[in-house]
A and B are shown apart, each in its own frame.
Chain A
Amino acid sequence: MMVDLPLGFLSDFSEAFDFIFNTREAQTGGVQVGGPAEVLEFTWEHVKVSGAAIGVACAVAIPAGLALGHAGKGELLAISISNIGRAVPSLALIAFFVAYLGVGFTNVTLALVLLAIPPILTNTYVGVRQVDRDVIDAGRGMGLNPQQVVRRIELPLALPSIFGGIRTSAVNVVATATIAPLAGVLTLGDYILSANVYGQDGRLAGAILVALLALCVEAAFAGLQRLSVPRGLALGDHI
């Protein structure tokens, strides 16, 4: 009867939620799948591999972006790396790492790092270049050395832009970590990619969970980006 209604797909979604909250036997028989414990385990793996990649990418891209931006050099590289990065399909990137370096947590992390670097590097560079020259001159006049100019003026003023880059990367990395099970890292994507084990309900549950995770990450980084606006700037809009 439900099936005759145009809203019949709703029952699919309720089955998917059932998969998230209750364990059931796998399609392949034997083991139990689904349920909160397994969902948490996959979510944790998803967050771990994404977090590691974002962390490494920040450690590489932010100093590089600050250095290039401070020196005003490498504009072509800093800007075009984002465009090139966008053109490389994330699936091809992961597949390339798996085919040539093998499966595993480290290789997936490395592939995701490459994916995450361009937006952070470009945004750091642009953020530093957008700092008002007068502010830097004022800092110099107060006797700040170049390192202090970077740390006390350029970095704080570029922070909102840097967090914007991290936000873009984070959402992209979390989305791409969905295909990590193809490389032997069991993220939430396993529910989507191994429907033969988890069934259609598991697959839909995986899609729901990945979507929710991406939205949470986006919201979290949007919040961080807002918090990263230096107090002086947040108050000084009317000047």
Chain B
Amino acid sequence: MLAQVEIRERSGDSCIARNDFCPGWIVDNFDRYTDPLAEHLFLTVAAVACGFVIAFTLALLARRRRWIVGPIVGVTGVLYTLPSLAVFFLLLPITGRGTTTALIALTAYTLQIIFRNIITGLDNVPPDARDAGRGMGLTDRQLLWRVELPLAVPDIVAGLRIATTTTVGLATLAVFAGAGGLGEQIVTGSNITFKTGVVAAGGLAVLLALVLDVVLLTVQRLMTPWRRAQPA
């Protein structure tokens, strides 16, 4: 284990050699976190984006054919239950190691949350709003895009926020699928005892989750100007 620590030591800092928590080391070595952070961001955003596209398509199908909601919730529920780490290695014989495998597993995990929230959002549209839209002569498609989806934005974004925060956490496991990310800075070989690295990488992951959460909240506010007009 000492050998591990010595390899990491760059600035001859004895704090690192003792494996204490060394804030100074994080500042000096911040460059080693930029690439994993970028990979982590990519994995998260790509997985949630793919998950959203798939879930959205399924939700639009389910809007017409109500009976497929049950089967979709069932199948995505199984995908949601399967531990990501297991999925990485179940996929290994099929897609190999790397970003693709990690992305498939992370995307599969987000489907349930996003799908449920889109359905809830569409169900929560007040019947009056729908009637008003129909009364104004909107076609079914116009009703969906101009009335129902805008009103469903808060529920949809709520789903995206949960999915995003969870995916940031799960993406730390992507290191086991050979897809990099911040997990790389937590696990060295099969060693997870480098105190400073654990705090730095874990802290960055939490920070990333918070930043993405704020971004999504901001998007929601921009997309629902009518909610700002009335005091909450």
Write the residues of chain A forming the contact surface with B, with a CB cutoff of 8 angstroms.
9, 12-13, 83, 86-96, 98-100, 171, 174-176, 178-179, 182-183, 189, 192-194, 203-204, 206-208, 210-211, 214-215, 218
Contact = CB atoms under 8 A, between A and B. Distances in A.
A92 B186 contact: yes
Nearest to A183: B192
A204 B192 contact: no
A175 B83 contact: yes
Contact of B195 (A100, A178, A194): A100
Contacts of A171: 81
B202 A95 contact: yes
Tell me the dominant secondary structure on chain A's binding face.
helix
Contacts of A90: 169, 172
B86 A87 contact: no
A95 B162 CA distance: 23
Given A9-B94, A95-B193, 7 more contacts: A87-B206, A88-B169, A91-B173, A95-B186, A99-B193, A179-B85, A218-B81
A151 to B, nearest CB: 32
B187 A182 contact: yes
Interface in B145-163: 162
A9 to B, nearest CB: 4
B84 interface: yes
Interface string B55-96: 000000000000000000000011001111111111011100
B86 A214 contact: yes
A217 B92 CA distance: 24
A197 B19 CA distance: 29
A204 B83 contact: no
A100 B197 CA distance: 12
A87 B169 contact: yes
Contacts of A210: 83, 85-86
Nearest to B207: A87
Contacts of A206: 86, 89
Nearest to B171: A89
Tell me the dominant secondary structure on chain B's binding face.
helix
**Of B89, B162, B205, most A-chain CB atoms within 10 Å:** B89
B210 interface: yes
A183 B198 CA distance: 14
* Interface band, chain B: 35 or more
Nearest to B173: A91
Contacts of B176: 192-193
A178 B205 contact: no
B105 to A, nearest CB: 11
B41 interface: no
B83 A174 contact: yes
17 contacts: A86-B162, A87-B169, A87-B206, A88-B169, A88-B205, A89-B202, A91-B172, A95-B186, A95-B192, A95-B198, A179-B173, A192-B85, A192-B86, A192-B176, A207-B87, A207-B92, A218-B81
Contacts of A89: 168-173, 182-183, 186, 202, 205-206
B18 to A, nearest CB: 13
A96 B147 CA distance: 48
Contact of B81 (A88, A99, A100, A214): A214
A211 B198 contact: no
Nearest to B191: A182
Interface string B194-220: 110011011001100110010000000
Contact of B82 (A95, A99, A215): A215
**Of A86, A87, A88, most B-chain CB atoms within 10 Å:** A87
B11 interface: no
A208 B85 CA distance: 11
A60 to B, nearest CB: 22
A208 B194 CA distance: 30
A210 B85 CA distance: 9
A207 B192 contact: no
A96 B182 CA distance: 14
B190 interface: yes
Given A86-B169, A87-B209, A88-B202, A211 B195 contact: no
Contacts of A83: 165
Contacts of A99: 19, 192-195, 198
B120 to A, nearest CB: 16
B190 A194 contact: yes
